[in-house]
Amino acid sequence: MNTPKPSKLTQSPAWKALQAHQAEIAQVQMRELFARDPGRAREFSLEAGALLLDYSKQRVTGTTLALLADLARQADVEGWRTRMFAGEHINVSEDRAVLHVALRSAQKVFPAGGDVMPLVRKAKQDLRAFSDAVRRGRLLGHSGKPMRTVINIGIGGSDLGPRMLTQALWRHADAPQAVHFVANADPDDLARVLTQAEPETTLFIVASKTFTTVETLGNAHLARAWLVRALGSEQAVKQHFTAVTTNLAAAADFGIAGERCFPLWDWVGGRYSVWSSVGLPLAIAIGMERFEALLAGARAMDEHFLTAPLAANMPVLLALLGIWYANFFGAEAHAVLPYAEALRELPAYLQQLEMESNGKGVDRDGQAVDYATVPVVWGAPGTNSQHAFHQMLHQGTHLVPCDFLVPVASTGMAAENALAQGAALMAGKEVAQPQRRFDGNRPSSTIMFKHIDPHTMGQLLALYEHKVFVQGIIWNINSFDQWGVELGKEIARTLATQPAGGGAIPGLDASTNALLARLRDWRT
């Protein structure tokens, strides 16, 4: 691979100033910073809505934050922010607007994108009517019985968001229906869920913008066959299936009536779509009033992001701290550690949001970057994670900045454990025996909130969405396409369509051809 040419970013004054500053601060211990400044915890914390961000356990000073803010201004983060909220086509590779913020907006017109709000309001009305009908037992199946099980079939953004939020908000779920999610192309995923369902009382939601997603359609056809076999009628599909899609023709070919199809638009990316009709299973689980509270929470964070100055802007601060470690300390990973079992799916959701958005090696101008972009995002719920990989966080050779997510209402000492882990990572422990020594100086942020409720979750997810946006702007990459997802899928389709005994596939490497041959042998 050719060495990338020096970029405008790495040659810029703001970048060089940060490099020089990092050399000065690299060996400074955070415990010394706390010792010198009794007010550090207050100075390096921020509240926005229901969220408290404490970033005092970061390897930063006031000078660091000022220089990082200069980097954001140099990239014109504020200008790009205005362009996104105006509906300009900032998704340059696909020539699309980026308007997931419109899904939770009270604004009537997005100047550059036209008035999309009538579409949004109509979709919400339809979502409310359908979800209410399911919840109240008015939506009847082929044999006249109300639905008692809802199975969402999707993958990626059509699965991770509603799955995560349905789990997170389980205390707020009051529907008589059980809501399940199926994503994996392995038929076992669907088979396991179907053991908990009765055909006469099961509603399937097929979520695929194009209605061509291979994994989703594969599972949808298996579910269709199961239903038709059990109920003895192709007509049953119309009563038991609905879709979230733009491809009405393909949905109709499947057997789903047009009035059972909910819209998506090209200005909403998949990983930003939980606010849309993709949230239908969530709306069924928690009810539309609580779904509206989720949207209101996101809208509150949108307003904060739009109006707060850079130095007091929570998404901007998270973004800049991530850039500080990825680009100036060489950190290649970032851990998300929710100290609540209800948030166990959040790391997986954020993996897609961050790595699919900013996992790019080419900038908006088509040039290879000469700097790191998004680190590997990973994590698991505490306290489970303490007994799995925290050893590496404390004493390992890799620098892994952490986000601790701490709901105050959690019990069983979960919140106290989160605070303790942050303190231990920062301060370390000096003992004579090397194996028991903790060097400390491991950075973390703590995001604390009172409850896991719809409004708070809306704020939290919008916080990370805007963090991703800011980082993409500074890195000069397009956060809203995902071309890297496609190549493997294309090859998989080629492999799947080859007849048994068809021999080697021309143009395919010898290793994959050999593995394919062995796969065919073992299947016969």
Give pLDDT tens digits for 119-149: 999 999 999 999 999 999 999 999 999 999 9
* pLDDT tens string 278-332: 999 999 999 999 999 999 999 999 999 999 999 999 999 999 999 999 999 999 9
Q: Is 108 a catalytic residue?
A: no
* pLDDT tens string 473-521: 999 999 999 998 888 888 988 888 887 777 889 999 999 999 999 998 8
DSSP E strands in 121-210: the ranges are 149-153, 178-182, 202-207
Mean per-residue pLDDT, 194-210: 97
Per-residue CA distances from 93 to 90, 183, 270, 301, 494 (Å): 9, 28, 16, 27, 26
The burial of 229, by beta-carbon neighbours within 10 Å (0-12 exposed, 13-18 middle, 19 or more buried), is given as exposed
Euclidean distance between CA atoms 394 and 437, whole angstroms: 10
pLDDT value, residue 1: 52
Angle at CA of residue 420, ends 414 and 425, nearest 5°: 130
Q: Which of 5, 387, 486, 490 is catalytic?
A: 387
Q: Is 489 a catalytic residue?
A: yes
Q: Is 5 a catalytic residue?
A: no
Chain position carrying tokens 């307003």: 303
DSSP category for residue 402: E
Euclidean distance between CA atoms 43 and 47, whole angstroms: 12
Q: Which of 8, 122, 398, 489 is catalytic?
A: 489
Phi, psi of 337 (to 5 degrees): -125, 90
- CA 273, 277, 282, 288 torsion-angle sign: positive
* pLDDT tens string 90-118: 999 999 999 999 999 987 678 776 789 99
Euclidean distance between CA atoms 251 and 65, whole angstroms: 51
Query: How many beta carbons lie within 10 A of that of residue 268, not counting itself?
Result: 28
Please provide the average confidence, as pLDDT, over all residues in the chain: 95
* pLDDT tens string 422-480: 999 999 999 999 999 999 999 999 999 999 999 999 999 999 999 999 999 999 999 99
Q: Which of 215, 345, 356, 465 is catalytic?
A: 356
DSSP category for residue 362: B
* pLDDT tens string 10-55: 999 999 999 999 999 999 999 999 999 999 999 999 999 999 999 9
How much of the chain, in percent, has pLDDT values that exceed 70?
99
Mean per-residue pLDDT, 182-203: 97
pLDDT value, residue 113: 66
Tokens of 190: 């669907």
Contact of 329 with 400, CB cutoff 8 Å: no
Which helix (H) or strand (E) segment holds residue 379: the answer is strand 376-379
